[in-house]
Amino acid sequence: MNSGRQLLTSGVTALAPAIWGSTYLVTTEWLPPDRPLLATTVRALPSGLILLLISRVLPKGEWLWRSLVLGTLNIGAFNLLLFVAAYRLPGGIAAMIMAVQPMIVLILAALIIGDRIRAVHVVACALGAAGVVLLVFKGSAALDPVGVAAALGGAACMATGITFTKRWGRPEGVGLLPFTGWQLTAGGLVSLPFTLSVEGLPASLTGTNVFGFAYLISFGAVISYALWFRGIEKLPALAVSFLALGSPIVATILGIAFEDETFSALQMVGIVVILAAVVLAQPRPARPRTTTAEDLPPDEESAVLGPKPAVDRSGTGS
């Protein structure tokens, strides 16, 4: 992949976490209050079913259980743990803890995919975590053990989901949209029992609520996850995991724009540090190698260097 196409792929993939960064604002302003599990299920299950109806392609064979695993890791379990962490950890602590996700991807990609761990990747992980701390930290707070465990579990789910999505790829002949639909449907089915047993269904919905759910289904699921899985397919796993750090940046900017939150100098530094980490983690295009005579087969070597002078049997030139 040349550098221009690679940059475009990274930019398109980054749109997914940018959209996810708007989810907090949409949830607080447009959705029914205190319904995180409902938001998770409505975001995933209808989106997946719509894509399945459009594509009319269902998983078969080993992809029945693979879709369930990926849908649980990438969507169902990840979102459940994310909301548990968000409710139990104040002041952006959940985002700080989940910034370990690229570090987990770094290790898993080396073990499962065989990616090499480079010094620049370690530096990028450290910068990414430091940038998120600067961006979201707002003072000391007591840490709830359940919230910490949920945040770490969410980071592990996302990291494992990225790694295995990269490892397994897509089945031959299956398009991106049905592949996305499989995972969204699986993730929604995983969260549905928790929604019904813990929260139940709301008695009524306002027009604003319907608009908010429509945004989550269209942009927050169908479009964003299709872009995300496309990026995982085309970019190294670690590079994709760093793009997810764009989500807290967008969430912070939207909070300042629409909820009168303050923006400090440290937060600006945090954004710059995160962006630096993302750039460091992106793959570098391979340098073109100069072809030498030793690299060429005999017939091509003679075409490049010209015919060799004939040598007679006595060892003197003809």
Confidence bin at 99 (pLDDT 50/70/90): confident
pLDDT at residue 227 tops 50: yes
Confidence bin at 174 (pLDDT 50/70/90): very high
What pLDDT is attached to residue 301? Answer: 46
DSSP-assigned letters across all residues of 167-233: HH---TT--HHHHHHHHHHHHHHHHHHHIIIII---S---HHHHHHHHHHHIIIIIIHHHHHHHHHH
Confidence bin at 85 (pLDDT 50/70/90): confident
pLDDT at residue 154 tops 60: yes
What is the arithmetic mean of pLDDT over 104-128?
89
DSSP, res 33: T
Highest mean pLDDT among 133-142, 145-154, 174-183: 174-183
The better pLDDT of the pair 310, 4 is held by: 4
Confidence bin at 34 (pLDDT 50/70/90): confident
Contact 177, 54 (CB under 8 A): yes
pLDDT at residue 309 tops 70: no
Please tell me the least confidently modeled range out of 50-59, 73-82, 130-139, 165-174.
130-139
- Rounded Cα gap, residues 188 and 165, in angstroms: 18
Confidence bin at 137 (pLDDT 50/70/90): low
What is the arithmetic mean of pLDDT over 230-239?
91
Confidence bin at 49 (pLDDT 50/70/90): very high
Confidence bin at 115 (pLDDT 50/70/90): confident
Highest mean pLDDT among 144-158, 256-270, 303-317: 144-158
Confidence bin at 94 (pLDDT 50/70/90): low
Please tell me the least confidently modeled range out of 136-145, 195-204, 263-272.
136-145
What is the arithmetic mean of pLDDT over 146-162?
88
> Taking the C-alpha atoms of 130, 132, 138 and 144 in order, what is their torsion angle to the nearest 10 degrees?
-100
What pLDDT is attached to residue 318? Answer: 40
Q: Quick one: how far is CA 25 from the chain centroid? A: 20
